[in-house]
Amino acid sequence: MNKAELESLSWIRIREAIKLLECDEYSGAYYLAGYSVECALKACICRQVKALDFPNKKLAQDSHTHRLTELVTIAGLKQKLKIEEQESEAFRLNWAIIKDWKETA
């Protein structure tokens, strides 16, 4: 998948999650919201890969994970995450809920 496809899939999954949430289907909403975050983080990782460059093997291997906290680090967003958590209580609470998401949820 490329960056645009991952971004599109992220938006699709969050719209689906919202629809499930509106129907009080919390488990399914959580599941799809987690995938939305995963796709968004992987889209951020795509920015590190330049067209026609030979891919960094470690980056490619490390990116094949569903662990959101690891993807934040791989995407180079750890410092931005920390700042956002300090500046926004709502963000901090939402991240606390989703950060331990697993694809088996």
Report the alpha-carbon distance of residue 15 to residue 62 in Å, rounded.
Answer: 28
Which pLDDT tens digit goes with each residue over 60-81? 899 999 999 999 999 999 999 9
Q: Give the three-class secondary structure for 80.
A: helix
Question: Which of 65, 85, 87 lies closest to 75 in space, CA to CA?
Answer: 65
* 52 pLDDT above the threshold of 80: no
Which pLDDT tens digit goes with each residue over 10-22? 999 999 999 999 9
Question: Which of 72, 40, 42 lies closest to 60 in space, CA to CA?
Answer: 42
The amino acid sitting at 5 is: E
Beta strands in the chain (DSSP E): none
